[in-house]
Amino acid sequence: MSVSAASLKNIPVAFASCSIGCKDEHTLPKRLDAIAKAGFTAIELSMPDLVKFAKLHLRKEVTPYDFDDLYTASKVVKAQCDAKGLKILILQPFSNFEGWAEGSKEREDAWTRVHGWIKIMQGAGTDMLQVGSSDTPAEKIGTDRSRFVKDLQELCDLLAKHNFRLAYENWCWSTHAPDWADVWDIVQKVDRPNIGLNLDTFQTGGKEWADPTTASGLVDKPDQQREKDFAESLDKLSKTVPGDKIYFLQISDAYKMKEPLSKDVDESGTRPRGRWSHDYRPLPYQGYLPVAQFTKAVLKTGFRGWFSYEVFDSGPDGKGRDYELDDFAQEAFKTQERLLADCADS
């Protein structure tokens, strides 16, 4: 499928609330101001941002499990977004949901969070929950894909009672579904009308093409083989995934590590690509991933839905960046124009 410039004119653009702000004074209301003024029309509402806002707004300690307080705070955030012309696209990131053993405390916790997050979604006025493919070690959740499918079916059925949708994302450090093809296989097997894909330029480029643990920053293959394999993967995506099963596309780049990351998990149990994801994801054209190449493959499916910028930019050294909110948001919005131009055939 060709990608005409005309077909890209009305693509809606969102920005993740967790992807802007580098100082304590950069509160959520200030972030929303900058995002709206730059021209974005939606946000991804991040749970850590909501928890922090709830503490300030309610003037008390609030934990991620204080769902009544978070519901109250989410209604305030919705009102602020409404006043600025911002839609709350999703609530994110819901992690480590699938695969826990029946009767385990971890499974009980996962479902406690589900019910709490649904209440928050009602307050925020959003209909979509983002779920990342679990990075829980395989020795704890196993490798039986049918178990993951069953859990996600149950979640979809519960969400459907509220007319909510589930956007399933491949986290490139996931223990069971790190590739787009993995989550697409799972989504097909879940076979529910309210589940779709949350694709991400970092998650795919950073798994199939790049590698933060190698000196080159690239997957350890001969150059021609790596490019061939990546091109074939993108071609398969564009020809096999229906555009309407992609709920939104997250966009970021990645810095090439000056010193390769250790292949081992760190003291928190995070894998190298997880560490890379948390701090080394700038806007497109500021790193080295094939962002436009992946984006064009997604557009070839016929998808013309939400582009959402989700960056975690602590600078090339990961030590932090200092910037003004308005400048950062405007730079991100301008990047969208360049990215679409690079994706268009004509």
Q: Determine contact, residues 102/55, Cβ cutoff 8 Å.
A: no
Q: Determine contact, residues 187/197, Cβ cutoff 8 Å.
A: yes
Spatial separation of the C-alpha atoms in residues 31 and 25, rounded to whole Å: 10
pTM score: 0.96
Specify whether domain 5-343 bears CATH 3.20.20.150. yes
Provide the pLDDT for residue 48: 96
Tens of pLDDT along the chain (346 residues)? 789 999 999 999 999 999 998 888 899 999 999 999 999 999 999 999 999 999 999 999 999 999 999 999 999 999 999 999 999 999 999 999 999 999 999 999 999 999 999 999 999 999 999 999 999 999 999 999 999 999 999 999 999 999 999 999 999 999 999 999 999 999 999 999 999 999 999 999 999 999 999 999 999 999 999 999 999 999 999 999 999 999 999 999 999 999 999 999 888 889 999 999 999 999 999 999 999 999 999 999 999 999 999 999 999 999 888 899 999 999 999 999 999 999 999 6
What b/e string do you get for 307-337 counting C-beta neighbours within 10 Å, with b at 16 or more?
Answer: bbbbbbbbeeebeeeeeebeebbeebbebbe
Q: Determine contact, residues 173/271, Cβ cutoff 8 Å.
A: yes
Long-range CB contacts (within 8 A, 24+) of 261-270 = 261/212, 261/213, 262/213, 263/213, 269/137, 270/173
Report the number of secondary-structure helices (H) and strands (E) in the chain.
12, 10
Provide the pLDDT for residue 211: 98
Query: CA geometry: angle at 344 spanning 343 and 346, to 5°?
Result: 160
Please state the domain extents for the chain. 5-343
Spatial separation of the C-alpha atoms in residues 309 and 43, rounded to whole Å: 9
Residues β-bridged to residue 343: none
Q: Determine contact, residues 309/283, Cβ cutoff 8 Å.
A: yes
Provide the pLDDT for residue 158: 98
Provide the pLDDT for residue 196: 98
Q: Strands 280-281 and 312-313: what pairing?
A: antiparallel
Q: Determine contact, residues 196/165, Cβ cutoff 8 Å.
A: yes
